[in-house]
């Protein structure tokens, strides 16, 4: 099995990570590297260990074996907050927005800017509004003023996705982990999100993309890691592989063999 | 530009659904004033006695409703507030009497009472936040515990009379209203301007998002249940001050009024919305209905029907508002 060489120095690296839940080994000695400005796609069937792996590198799970490195330095994480302080931001499939709050409140959730008024510290809502507008402008997302200060549940799926991405980049994400970012979106909105990812890549952000959608993967990723039953089934540069090979890696050679035999 | 006119119309409708508690309160007052002028030839509103009576009637359920507002915004509910208020009413009288019934004794009584309430709130909060007990059940348990503890502390007579000049001063005239008003301002500030308030909304909007954003959701929820119980405790202390006696059933009828005030004020029981000013309007609406119907000499039982109808109406309007927003 050939493993593509990574030219640039990785910003984030996981070496031989294993994790068990009860008797089940969810990850078996999986390694991962991603460089600044690179889009790494994680592919695999349901239960292959994709979500488990990103939860390890975002500090939610603690591996039983293996090590993490950030810019070459060992990375110890006790909680997700530790990952975020390093600039490792995760956008979950359900976006993790507070639907009842406005755009600015969501961008600053948990890190609200304060200013002093009448001798006491209060939330600086004007600043939050200003930054919300700036972030949306940077992503080229149009939201009318009225909706900017209303609950985000009134916005479209693509706009909400943009807010989640905007929150991550506002906090200087250097590694952005995205779990199925296009799963719940219509086609034009999917395209918009792909554009956003291209933009982040150009700015030197390392993106780890989980996706079921091979079209998305081949459209935006540089490298693909395929997981199967908690193990690394293969790693390919996008320009050196095709959909058939990736699917074969995802489902396993035996299955693919029986399937093609049946077709003959 | 048709988009804009649709937007404007929608904006006005949304504004109307937001403002309706104010308009409804105004309509109630106008109605009672007109009735009083025409039928009895007296004024309803322009009498400091009536205003004081309405505000006094509103203040006790309002104190419970203020804490309840925070709880309901997190999509919880605190069923224990009524009997925690009763327990507090008894405990403040008992401890003050035991400590010698001086001014310092009253201070000790108040501190001990608030501590007892804080413990009750801590238990409710721990049940809900850390042990995963549904708020309805966890606080129903504390409803029973506080109820029993209140009657046991009161002894066989069920009420504890207390004659303490400072306490009497606290309970006379406008004092209970002033105390409630000041606390209302404090909680309005906390909910609308501080991180504590912001996190309360965030938890109600999406608990998991709040947790992922690094908010210590469990601790925050426990603090909110402590706040709720503490405000029930203050309600109990004010009750004992007003009537110079603590009764274990002091707040029994106020639990539902407190929830009603919050809901009429625009909070959703699904969490995420609500505010202190809305709750104030809700409490005033209930008090005006109760006092107004007595004032115009209508059978007192009608007030239950009237308040019930208002609660249903406010929930329907809330749902309509949500549909408006979604449709937008």
CB B93 within 8 A of CB B160: yes
3-state secondary structure of A166: helix
pLDDT at residue B327 in the model: 60
Mean pLDDT of the B171-199 span: 95
Among A1-10, A37-46, A59-68, B72-81, the minimum mean pLDDT is found in: A1-10
pLDDT at residue B3 in the model: 47
pLDDT at residue A200 in the model: 86
Percentage above 70 pLDDT, chain A? 92
How far A72 CA sits from the closest chain B CA (Å)?
26
Interchain proximity B205–A154, CB inside 8 Å: no
Element (H, E) at A39: strand A39-44
Average per-residue pLDDT in chain B? 90
Among A142-151, B13-22, B94-103, B179-188, the minimum mean pLDDT is found in: B13-22
Q: Is residue A1 part of a domain?
A: no
User: What's the CATH number where B147 sits?
Assistant: 1.10.3470
The three-state DSSP-derived secondary structure of B115-152 is: HHHHHHHHHHHHHHHHCCCCHHHHHHHHHHHHHHHHHH
Q: Is residue B4 part of a domain?
A: no
Phi, psi of A185 (to 5 degrees): -110, 155
Task: Inform me whether the pLDDT recorded for A130 exceeds 80.
Answer: yes
Cα separation, A137 vs A130, whole angstroms: 11
- The answer to whether B326 contacts chain A (CB < 8 Å) is yes
| CA B236 to mean position of chain CA atoms | 12
Cα separation, B5 vs B164, whole angstroms: 63
Q: For residue B243, what pLDDT band results from cuts at 50, 70 and 90?
A: very high
pLDDT at residue B187 in the model: 97
pLDDT per residue as tens digits for the range A188-217: 778 888 888 888 888 889 999 998 888 888
pLDDT per residue as tens digits for the range A11-68: 999 899 999 888 888 888 999 999 999 999 998 888 888 888 988 988 888 888 999 9
Residue B94: other Cβ atoms inside 10 A? 20
Interchain proximity A96–B201, CB inside 8 Å: no
Structural domain for B73, as ranges: 21-321
Q: Which residue in chain A is spatially nearest to B323 when comparing CA positions?
A: A154
Q: For residue A83, what pLDDT band results from cuts at 50, 70 and 90?
A: confident
Task: Inform me whether the pLDDT recorded for B294 exceeds 90.
Answer: no
Q: Is residue A53 part of a domain?
A: yes
CB A143 within 8 A of CB A103: yes
Cα separation, B58 vs B52, whole angstroms: 10
Q: Is residue A209 part of a domain?
A: yes
Cα separation, A12 vs A176, whole angstroms: 11
Please enumerate in sequence order all residues whose Cβ is within 8 A of that of A226, keeping only pairs 6 or more positions apart, or say none.
A43, A44, A232, A233, A234, A235, A236, A246, A249, A250
Pairwise pLDDT comparison (B5 vs B99), residue with the higher score:
B99
Interchain proximity B272–A92, CB inside 8 Å: no
How far B313 CA sits from the closest chain A CA (Å)?
22
Q: Is residue A132 part of a domain?
A: no
Task: Inform me whether the pLDDT recorded for A254 exceeds 70.
Answer: no
Mean pLDDT of the A103-120 span: 90
Q: Is residue B239 part of a domain?
A: yes
Q: For residue B2, what pLDDT band results from cuts at 50, 70 and 90?
A: very low
Cα separation, A93 vs B154, whole angstroms: 55
pLDDT at residue A259 in the model: 54
Max mean pLDDT among A156-160, A230-234, B202-206 falls in B202-206
Structural domain for A231, as ranges: 12-97+172-263
Task: Inform me whether the pLDDT recorded for A126 exceeds 60.
Answer: yes
How far B100 CA sits from the closest chain A CA (Å)?
39
- The answer to whether B206 contacts chain A (CB < 8 Å) is yes
Cα separation, A24 vs B137, whole angstroms: 36
CB A18 within 8 A of CB A28: yes
Cα separation, B164 vs B179, whole angstroms: 18
Interchain proximity B214–A84, CB inside 8 Å: yes
CB B290 within 8 A of CB A117: no
Q: Of A90, A110, A114, which is closest to B214 when you measure between CB atoms?
A: A110
CB B29 within 8 A of CB B288: yes
Q: Is residue B251 part of a domain?
A: yes
User: What's the CATH number where A34 sits?
Assistant: 3.40.50.300
User: Most B CBs within 10 Å: which of A55, A110, A126, A163, as the mutation test of the B interface?
Assistant: A110
Q: How many domains does chain B have?
A: 1
Interchain proximity A146–B213, CB inside 8 Å: no
Gyration radius of chain A over CA positions = 20
Max mean pLDDT among A184-198, B40-54, B194-208 falls in B194-208
pLDDT at residue B181 in the model: 96
The residues on A that touch B, with CB distances below 8 Å, are: 80-81, 84, 90, 92, 94-101, 105, 109-112, 114, 117, 121-123, 144, 146-147, 150-151, 153-154
Q: For residue A4, what pLDDT band results from cuts at 50, 70 and 90?
A: low
Task: Inform me whether the pLDDT recorded for B9 exceeds 70.
Answer: no
CB A136 within 8 A of CB A165: no
Average per-residue pLDDT in chain A? 84
Task: Inform me whether the pLDDT recorded for B116 exceeds 60.
Answer: yes
3-state secondary structure of A23: coil
Please enumerate in sequence order all residues whose Cβ is within 8 A of that of B174, keeping only pairs 6 or more positions apart, or say none.
B52
Q: Is residue A125 part of a domain?
A: no
- The answer to whether B68 contacts chain A (CB < 8 Å) is no
pLDDT at residue A1 in the model: 45
pLDDT at residue B6 in the model: 57
Among left, alpha and beta (phi > 0; psi -120 to 50; other), residue A137 is alpha
Q: What are the tokens at A226?
A: 């395929």
Task: Inform me whether the pLDDT recorded for B106 exceeds 50.
Answer: yes
Give strand pairing partners of B55: none
pLDDT at residue B156 in the model: 78
Percentage above 70 pLDDT, chain B? 95
Among left, alpha and beta (phi > 0; psi -120 to 50; other), residue A246 is alpha
Cα separation, B65 vs B313, whole angstroms: 19
Q: Is residue B237 part of a domain?
A: yes
Q: Is residue B328 part of a domain?
A: no
Q: Of B201, B208, B213, which is closest to A110 when you measure between CB atoms?
A: B213
Q: Is residue B327 part of a domain?
A: no
How far A113 CA sits from the closest chain B CA (Å)?
9
Q: Is residue B299 part of a domain?
A: yes
Task: Inform me whether the pLDDT recorded for A6 exceeds 70.
Answer: no
Q: Is residue B2 part of a domain?
A: no
Task: Inform me whether the pLDDT recorded for B303 exceeds 80.
Answer: yes
Q: How many domains does chain A have?
A: 1
DSSP codes, A192-242: HHHHHHHHHHHTT-EEEEE-S-HHHHHHH-SEEEEEETTEEEEEEEGGG--
Chain A / chain B CB contacts < 8 angstroms: 75
Interchain proximity B194–A84, CB inside 8 Å: no
Q: For residue A260, what pLDDT band results from cuts at 50, 70 and 90?
A: low
Cα separation, B101 vs B288, whole angstroms: 36
Q: Of B201, B214, B326, which is closest to A81 when you measure between CB atoms?
A: B214
Task: Inform me whether the pLDDT recorded for B328 exceeds 60.
Answer: no
Residues of B in contact with A148 (CB under 8 A): none
Pairwise pLDDT comparison (A228 vs A94), residue with the higher score:
A228
Q: What are the tokens at B58?
A: 């509103």
Task: Inform me whether the pLDDT recorded for B123 exceeds 60.
Answer: yes
Q: Which residue in chain B is spatially nearest to A96 when comparing CA positions?
A: B209
Please enumerate in sequence order all residues whose Cβ is within 8 A of that of A43, keeping only pairs 6 or more positions apart, or say none.
A50, A211, A212, A214, A217, A224, A225, A226, A227, A246, A249, A250
Residue of B23, B74, B42, B116 lying closest to B215 (CA atoms): B74
């Amino acid at each position: 099995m050939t493993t593509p060489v990574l030219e640039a120095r990785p910003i984030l690296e996981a070496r031989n990570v294993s994790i068990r839940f009860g008797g089940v080994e969810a990850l078996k000695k999986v390694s991962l590297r991603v460089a600044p400005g690179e889009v790494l796609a994680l592919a695999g069937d349901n239960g292959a260990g994709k979500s488990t792996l990103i939860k390890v590198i975002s500090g939610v799970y603690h591996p039983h074996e293996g090590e993490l490195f950030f810019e070459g330095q060992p990375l110890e994480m006790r909680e997700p907050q530790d990952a975020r302080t390093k600039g490792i931001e995760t956008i979950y499939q359900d976006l993790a927005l507070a639907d009842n709050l406005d755009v600015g409140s969501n961008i600053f959730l948990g890190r609200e800017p304060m200013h002093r008024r009448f001798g006491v510290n209060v939330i600086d809502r004007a600043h939050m509004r200003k930054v919300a507008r700036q972030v949306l402008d940077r992503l080229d997302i149009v939201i009318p003023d009225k909706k900017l200060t209303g609950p985000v549940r009134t916005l479209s799926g693509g706009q909400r996705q943009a807010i989640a991405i905007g929150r991550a980049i506002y906090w200087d994400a250097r590694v952005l982990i995205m779990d199925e970012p296009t799963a719940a979106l219509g086609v034009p909105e999917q395209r918009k999100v792909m554009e956003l990812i291209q933009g982040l890549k150009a700015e030197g952000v390392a993106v780890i993309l989980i996706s079921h959608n091979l079209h998305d993967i081949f459209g935006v990723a540089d490298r693909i890691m395929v997981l199967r039953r908690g193990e690394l089934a293969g790693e390919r540069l996008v320009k050196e592989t095709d959909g058939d090979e990736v699917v074969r890696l995802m489902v396993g050679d035996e299955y693919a063999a029986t399937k093609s035999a049946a077709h003959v | 530009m048709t988009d804009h006119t649709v937007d404007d119309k929608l904006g006005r409708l949304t504004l109307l659904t937001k403002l309706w508690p104010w308009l409804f309160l105004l309509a109630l007052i106008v109605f009672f004033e007109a009735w009083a002028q025409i039928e009895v030839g007296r004024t309803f509103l322009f009498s400091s006695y009536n205003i004081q009576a309405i505000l006094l009637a509103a203040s006790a359920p309002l104190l419970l409703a203020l804490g309840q507002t925070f709880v309901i915004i997190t999509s919880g509910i605190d069923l224990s507030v009524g009997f925690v208020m009763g327990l507090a009413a008894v405990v403040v009288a008992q401890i003050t009497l035991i400590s010698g019934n001086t001014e310092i004794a009253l201070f000790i009584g108040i501190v001990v009472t608030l501590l007892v309430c804080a413990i009750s709130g801590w238990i409710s909060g721990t049940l809900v936040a850390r042990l995963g007990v549904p708020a309805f059940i966890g606080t129903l348990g504390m409803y029973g515990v506080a109820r029993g503890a209140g009657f046991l502390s009161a002894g066989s007579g069920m009420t504890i009379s207390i004659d303490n000049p400072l306490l009497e001063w606290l309970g006379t005239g406008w004092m209970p209203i002033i105390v409630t008003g000041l606390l209302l301002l404090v909680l309005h500030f906390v909910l609308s301007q501080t991180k504590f308030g912001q996190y309360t909304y965030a938890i109600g909007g999406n608990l998991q998002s709040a947790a992922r954003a690094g908010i210590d959701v469990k601790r925050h929820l426990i603090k909110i249940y402590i706040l709720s119980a503490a405000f029930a405790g203050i309600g109990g202390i004010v009750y004992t001050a007003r009537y110079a006696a603590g009764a274990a059933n002091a707040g029994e009828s106020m639990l539902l009024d407190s929830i009603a005030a919050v809901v009429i004020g625009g909070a959703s029981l699904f969490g995420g919305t609500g505010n202190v000013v809305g709750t104030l309007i809700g409490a005033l609406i209930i008090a005006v209905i109760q006092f107004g119907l007595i004032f115009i000499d209508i059978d007192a039982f009608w007030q239950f029907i009237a308040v019930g109808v208002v609660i249903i109406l406010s929930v329907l309007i809330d749902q309509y508002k949500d549909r408006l927003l979604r449709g937008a």
